């Protein structure tokens, strides 16, 4: 698609609110430095309603014990220790309504154990993958003592699952306190260890960039502010400052939480949308008609679901470029440059000679045949085309015939005249040929030249298959190319029904994956290891995953949608639309 400066849709800008976001606070420190204790004291703050405590990893187990501190107000959210249940517990805490008109607080204790669990998951998956490959190749499986390399794709998967946790926490309307361990390690310089020591947070390395404030506890009662994002507090960027009398309540007030917005203002990126771009024919608004050559006066496609360039219009445009008296080669290339190869490949173009094509392939073949015809004329010592028009120098003008082909095509009459075409019988061209329109005599059957081929027909054909952006016919050819004239087999009604059913099943599987907060590839992993699943395999797998999806909808309070899902057939297009509407709505994703 050519680059354009015209926006594809209307937008409405807005002024900044000046209000801070609900803060994400990272509280780090070595073992027994008081992280959980300070988080428990923070639940007494008058700025929050209720605190929901999600404890990950049973090595410390202080959530119940710190409940005896006077004045603390928090509740423990249980889970079974798996990633999906921990993620769902966080979703549940985020979805709880405010208590006493005040936003709730969430405590994650702690992020180090969560990242360790994700790392262990990928190590187990890597070993499982190595054992499976060994079975397939009939080799000995690695023993428990044999180290197995965790590939980069598995680490990227762990980062994605960690990112889902942060994605849900960013939808929380109140403060979030994440606890993590900090280790004192040897500092490296130029990849070599030194005698200096430094502090390192034991969690995913991008966590400090995702939070709004970082507080380090070097010991009991010894707090340091090492990073903060605020305008309510006069701090010096890039410096670590002591934080005397630290408490979560004091930090919230200095961050301006009393003036915080009801929800975090954030614009998330959507990498998965790239997969849908080929199916979404996003086109530019109409282009101002400012062309000077023939065959270039057309409009750009409109921004809607229907292509602005119809099949008839595309074939007529190519015909006008072919009959250009000066330079049909440039006119054809101008059409491709203006509309783009990908867009032209979506427009069907039917010809009696070549059968079903698309507009881009038709232009490619026309350009190639013009080149071949030029070689033939050069070999015979002739100018391309007929006798030059009167008053035109022979060495400065060259004429092209309409859509020349390597050999005479079937359908010509006995005297060599081209078959009847729509372009030749148009009212404005009736009674004269293109050559006659330029002051020349039409070629006769007695000439040595091969008769011209039929023009492309502007008939509405069935949709053609997608072609590549660059056809092989555009490569230099030493010999004339004989294009096959056989038509493509028609698509049967059964094939169309299977395509519709397959798409509906993938849409339902995508909705199930979004309800589980996993990617579609992760959701379909058990049936895609050996390749794309069959229609029956996909149908059985989607039906087996329905109870989990229905349970998720019931937990979210979507009883009516869950009942509809329970009674729906497989596949159900109407149900897919309901699920998509629910998942795309702001409340469902919050």
pLDDT per residue as tens digits for the range 213-253: 999 998 888 899 998 988 888 887 777 888 988 999 999 99
pLDDT score of 2? 53
pLDDT score of 571? 79
Pair of tokens at residue 285: 């608004």
Window from 20-34, 257-271, 288-302, 450-464 with minimum mean pLDDT = 288-302
Say how many C-beta atoms besides its own lie within 10 A of residue 98's C-beta. Answer: 14
* C-alpha distances out from residue 301 to 1, 8, 284, 317, Å: 11, 11, 6, 14
C-alpha 513/C-alpha 499 separation (Å) is 21
The full DSSP string for 109-170 is: E-HHHHHHHHHHHHHHHHHHHHHHHHHHTT-PPPPTTS-----HHHHHHHHHHHHHHHHHHT
C-alpha 134/C-alpha 140 separation (Å) is 6
Angle at 414 between CA 410 and CA 420, to 5 degrees: 60
Adjacent-strand bridge partners of 76: 53
- CA nearest to 38, candidates 251, 255, 253, 204: 251
Is 426:396 a contact under the CB 8 Å cutoff?
A: no
Is 104:113 a contact under the CB 8 Å cutoff?
A: no
Residue 289 pLDDT more than 80?
no
C-alpha 28/C-alpha 223 separation (Å) is 10
Q: Which residue has the tokens 């605020």?
A: 230
Adjacent-strand bridge partners of 358: 348
pLDDT score of 308? 65
Please name the residues in contact with 42: beta carbons below 8 A apart, sequence gap of 6 or more.
51, 105, 107, 177, 247, 248, 249, 252
DSSP 205: T
Q: pLDDT per residue over 519-578, tens digit each?
A: 888 888 888 877 778 888 888 888 888 888 888 888 888 888 888 888 888 778 888 888
Adjacent-strand bridge partners of 183: 200
| Banded pLDDT at 102 (limits 50, 70, 90) | very high
Adjacent-strand bridge partners of 173: none
C-alpha 90/C-alpha 108 separation (Å) is 9
DSSP 99: B
Percentage, residues of the chain above pLDDT 70: 74
**Residue 97 zone, left/alpha/beta (φ > 0; ψ -120 to 50; rest):** beta
Q: pLDDT per residue over 476-523, tens digit each?
A: 444 444 444 545 566 677 777 788 888 888 888 888 888 888 888 888
pLDDT score of 59? 61
- The gap between the terminal CA atoms of the chain, to the nearest Å, is 35
Window from 39-43, 139-143, 308-312, 487-491 with minimum mean pLDDT = 487-491
Residue 391 pLDDT more than 80?
no
DSSP 378: H
C-alpha 35/C-alpha 30 separation (Å) is 9
Pair of tokens at residue 367: 């350009």
Say how many C-beta atoms besides its own lie within 10 A of residue 276's C-beta. Answer: 9
pLDDT score of 454? 43
Q: Which residue has the tokens 């996003």?
A: 282
Maximum Cα–Cα distance across the chain: 111
Residue 87 pLDDT more than 80?
yes
Pair of tokens at residue 286: 């109409």
pLDDT score of 249? 93
pLDDT score of 169? 93
Adjacent-strand bridge partners of 27: 179, 215
Parallel/antiparallel/unpaired status of strands 176-189 and 105-109 = parallel
Pair of tokens at residue 389: 């028009």
* C-alpha distances out from residue 477 to 37, 100, 119, 371, 474, Å: 78, 79, 55, 9, 8
Give the mean pLDDT of 154-158: 87
Report the chain's mean pLDDT, rounded to a whole number: 75
Is 578:561 a contact under the CB 8 Å cutoff?
A: yes
Tell me the Cα Rg of the chain.
35
Give the three-state DSSP class for 84.
helix
Give the mean pLDDT of 120-148: 84
Pair of tokens at residue 365: 């073949």
Is 75:63 a contact under the CB 8 Å cutoff?
A: no
Q: pLDDT per residue over 16-33, tens digit each?
A: 988 999 999 999 998 888
Give the mean pLDDT of 103-128: 90
Is 550:566 a contact under the CB 8 Å cutoff?
A: yes
pLDDT score of 106? 96
* C-alpha distances out from residue 339 to 279, 303, 334, Å: 17, 14, 9
C-alpha 582/C-alpha 587 separation (Å) is 8
Give the mean pLDDT of 390-403: 37
Q: pLDDT per residue over 304-340, tens digit each?
A: 343 467 888 888 888 888 877 778 888 888 888 787 7
C-alpha 575/C-alpha 582 separation (Å) is 11
Pair of tokens at residue 237: 């960027």
Residue 163 pLDDT more than 50?
yes
Angle at 279 between CA 316 and CA 352, to 5 degrees: 30
Give the mean pLDDT of 134-157: 83
Angle at 458 between CA 457 and CA 461, to 5 degrees: 95
Give the mean pLDDT of 289-318: 55
54 or 262, which is more confident? 54
590 or 259, which is more confident? 259
Residue 468 pLDDT more than 80?
no
pLDDT score of 489? 62
């Amino acid at each position: 698609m050519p680059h354009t400066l015209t926006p594809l849709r209307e937008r409405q800008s807005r002024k900044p609110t000046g209000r801070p976001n609900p803060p994400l606070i990272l509280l780090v420190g070595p073992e027994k430095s008081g992280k959980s204790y300070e988080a428990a004291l923070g639940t007494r703050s008058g700025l929050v309603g209720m605190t929901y405590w999600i404890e990950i990893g049973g090595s410390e187990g202080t959530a119940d014990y710190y409940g005896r501190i006077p004045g603390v107000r928090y509740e423990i959210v249980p889970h079974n220790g798996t990633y999906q249940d921990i993620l769902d517990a966080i979703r549940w805490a985020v979805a709880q309504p405010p208590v006493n008109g005040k936003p709730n607080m969430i405590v994650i204790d702690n992020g180090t154990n969560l990242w360790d669990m994700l790392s262990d998951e990928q190590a187990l998956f890597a070993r499982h993958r190595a054992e499976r490959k060994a079975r397939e190749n009939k080799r000995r499986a690695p023993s428990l003592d044999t180290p197995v390399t965790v590939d980069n794709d598995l680490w990227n998967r762990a980062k994605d699952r960690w990112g889902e946790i942060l994605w849900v926490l960013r939808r929380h309307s109140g403060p979030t306190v994440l606890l993590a361990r900090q280790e004192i390690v040897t500092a490296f310089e130029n990849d070599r260890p030194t005698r200096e020591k430094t502090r390192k947070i034991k969690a995913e390395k991008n966590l400090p960039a995702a939070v709004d404030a970082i507080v380090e506890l070097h010991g009991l009662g010894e707090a340091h502010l090492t990073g903060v994002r605020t305008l309510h507090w006069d701090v010096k960027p890039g410096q670590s400052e002591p934080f005397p009398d630290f408490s979560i309540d004091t930090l919230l007030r200095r961050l301006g939480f009393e003036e915080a917005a009801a929800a975090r203002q954030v614009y998330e990126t959507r990498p998965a949308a790239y997969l849908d771009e080929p199916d979404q024919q996003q086109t530019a608004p109409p282009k101002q008609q400012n062309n000077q050559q023939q065959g270039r006066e057309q409009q750009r496609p409109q921004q809607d679901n229907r292509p602005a360039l119809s099949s008839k219009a595309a074939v007529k445009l190519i015909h006008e470029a072919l009959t250009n008296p000066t330079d049909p080669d440039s006119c054809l290339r101008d059409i491709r440059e203006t509309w783009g190869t990908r867009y032209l490949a979506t427009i069907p173009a039917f010809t009696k000679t070549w059968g079903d094509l698309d507009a881009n392939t038709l232009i490619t073949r026309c350009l190639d045949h013009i080149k071949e015809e030029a070689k033939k004329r050069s070999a015979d010592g002739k100018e391309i085309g007929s006798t030059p028009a009167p008053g035109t120098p022979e060495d400065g003008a060259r004429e092209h015939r309409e859509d020349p082909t390597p050999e005479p095509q079937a359908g010509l009459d006995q005297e060599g005249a081209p078959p009847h075409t729509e372009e030749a019988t148009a009212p404005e061209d009736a009674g004269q040929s293109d050559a006659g329109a330029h002051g020349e005599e039409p070629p006769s059957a007695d000439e040595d030249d091969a008769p011209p081929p039929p023009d492309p027909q502007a008939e509405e054909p069935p949709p053609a298959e997608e072609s590549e952006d660059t056809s092989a016919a555009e490569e230099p050819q030493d010999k004339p190319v004989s294009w096959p004239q056989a038509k493509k087999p028609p698509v049967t009604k059964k094939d169309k029904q299977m395509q519709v059913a397959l798409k509906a099943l993938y849409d339902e599987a995508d909705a199930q994956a979004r309800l589980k907060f996993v990617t579609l590839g992760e959701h379909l992993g058990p049936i895609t290891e050996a390749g794309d699943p069959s229609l029956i395999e996909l149908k059985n797998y989607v039906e087996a995953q329905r109870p989990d999806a229905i349970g998720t909808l019931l937990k979210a309070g979507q009883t009516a949608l869950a009942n509809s899902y329970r009674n729906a057939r497989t596949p159900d297009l109407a149900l897919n639309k309901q699920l998509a509407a629910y998942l795309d709505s702001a409340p469902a994703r919050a």
